[in-house]
Structure 1
Amino acid sequence: MSKIVDAHAHVFTHQCRIARNPRHRPRYEAPLASYLDLLDRFGIAQGVLVQPSFLGIHNDYLMDCLRRHPERLRGVAVLSPDVSDDTLDEMTTLGIRGTRLNWIGRNSDELKAAEWSALFSRLEARRWHVEIQAEGATLLAIVDLLQRWDLDLVIDHFGRPQANAWRDPVIDRLCVGVGDQRFWVKCSAPYRNRCDGLHDVGKRLLDALGPYRLMWGSDWPWTEHEHLYSFEKALNDIDQWMPAADLAVVMSETPRRFYGFAE
């Protein structure tokens, strides 16, 4: 398979500014050079760098990485509602294609504020997507809220299901009425989910959404789960979850189109 894209990874160094009161802060570095070495070792053509929660809105390192490798990398930033239009335009030029809502442990009502509505309108105008890192009722509430805008929605880590494929309300929402929705789901980080039978979750998502709405991501460097996972396991898992006929679409064609990588 050629031109594989890793659609979900994180980079950071000790020099990066940290968010206020992060839920978790790694004590090691995951610099861009190490990540690119891994991509080369495993024959992966491109990567999407997603701003990690513990860096918050300090996107400096992410933007610097994109400046250095514009053909190989794309980005997903974390924003505050008062981000300037000039900054958004610069980010777009550098290859940032969306913003991530890290909403684990937070109330979705925060996003109803006028300043967030204004930001979502500005993102809509720039054709950015919104990536959602949340669980259960919070994730569903955010999806409902964002229906007001013409925004693509990327759901992190299989939707972080908490029950099996046929009982989890998030999976139900992603798989029902898909013709009117604009969901993409990242098949990544199985260790961040609290359900049995993730293979069944993946199968249901594939059957409902099709391979052109699914993307594979390594979630490197597997923060808080470093001892459980590896690039080898991430690649082996997707081989197990995904029929061979769909692998090239999920691992290459879909993310290349979605993030605007050159053919």
Structure 2
Amino acid sequence: MAAHLSPGTGSLFDAPTDGPGDHHAHVFAANVAGTPHPRYVPDYDATVAEYFAQLDMHGLSWGTLVQPSFLGTDNSMLLAALADHPDRLRGVAVLDGEDPRRTCPDIADWHARGVRGVRLNLLGSTGPDLSRPAWQTFLDDMAAHGWHLELQIPPEAWATWVPILADVPCRVVIDHLGLPESVDAVPGHPLLALAVLPHVWVKASGSYRCGPGAARAMYEALCSAGTDRLVPGSDRPHTRFEGRATGAWEFFGAGEFFDAGE
């Protein structure tokens, strides 16, 4: 593996424009799935126009579209949105687990389109084998282009993935504050040790996906540990938590907690 990238000066990637941004949101069409057995398929549209309205409401200049798991490796809607709005959007794609180049044959081309990362959703999946030669070379290319590897990790997968993520050559981003199940699970949580590594970032997002009070406890524990590689995400439109996504925007605003609602 290549050496880790420099942690930089507080920016996970080059933003499309000046000003504060949102690091995690989704767009999709109603009742569309790209995988054979999705855990959840929304029955409504989540449009770019609606997302921009939310960004404007919260005083944010730009956003990051993350490919939702139910669309699989069909990143066409994400890429189309990036092409239509290069001045306001960046993207994180989902690629083939056996060989990422089957989905993204030219990383420089996708970089020019606005893609800045690759997501692995490990909920209900063991994830790809990153020791495969196809992934080894692709991860090196990701590092060269400043891309990050983004993961949603359930509690039972942490023991397997911590040593893997400690050794990858590119930046690593952990979704939703590591999904702690409870406040009691925060002390000694594997994320606290992983997050001190200079190539690891954490998305302060999706507090409603964590146990009661656990997101805030994890956020404060990470801050106390000294990491400044925390970026806020709205997780809009809050799939599976529509209408009950309390605190969706609470991590915006200079690290202060507030609930601006929808």
TM range (shorter): 0.7 to 0.9
Q: 1:107-156, CA deviations, whole angstroms, 9 ceiling, x for partnerless residues? A: 25744444333432332333311001111241342232133332111000
Calculate percent identity across the aligned residue pairs: 34
Task: Return closer, same or farther for 1:199/1:111 CA change in 2, 3 Å cut-off.
Answer: same
1:115 aligned to 2:131? no
**Contact 1:132 1:139 (C-alpha < 8 Å) held by counterparts:** no
One of 199, 210, 219 as aligned partner of 2:216: 199
1:34 aligned to 2:50? yes
| Runs of 5+ consecutive residues of structure 2 not aligned to the other structure | 1-17, 257-262
Measure the CA separation in 2 of the matches of 1:150 and 1:19: 29
One of 238, 242, 247 as aligned partner of 2:251: 238
**Contact 2:119 2:151 (C-alpha < 8 Å) held by counterparts:** yes
| Runs of 5+ consecutive residues of structure 1 not aligned to the other structure | 248-263
Measure the CA separation in 2 of the matches of 1:127 and 1:112: 20
**Offset of 1:16 from its aligned partner?**
5.6
**Offset of 1:57 from its aligned partner?**
0.6
**Contact 2:92 2:119 (C-alpha < 8 Å) held by counterparts:** yes
| Partner residue in 2 for 1:136 | 155
SS in 1 for 2:189: helix
| Partner residue in 1 for 2:189 | 172
**Contact 1:132 1:156 (C-alpha < 8 Å) held by counterparts:** yes
Measure the CA separation in 2 of the matches of 1:224 and 1:149: 31
1:187 aligned to 2:210? no
SS in 1 for 2:78: helix
| Partner residue in 1 for 2:34 | 18
Q: Which has the higher helix share?
A: 1
**Contact 2:20 2:60 (C-alpha < 8 Å) held by counterparts:** yes
Alignment of 1:1-263 (within 5 A): 3-14=19-30, 18-80=34-96, 81-84=99-102, 86-108=105-127, 110-164=129-183, 167-168=185-186, 172-176=189-193, 179-194=196-211, 196-210=213-227, 212-229=228-245, 233-235=247-249, 237-238=250-251, 246-247=255-256
Task: Return closer, same or farther for 1:87/1:104 CA change in 2, 3 Å cut-off.
Answer: same
**Contact 1:161 1:168 (C-alpha < 8 Å) held by counterparts:** yes
Task: Return closer, same or farther for 1:109/1:59 CA change in 2, 3 Å cut-off.
Answer: closer
- When the two chains are superposed, the root-mean-square deviation of aligned CA atoms in Å is 2.7
Q: Which residue type is aligned with residue 206 of structure 2?
A: A
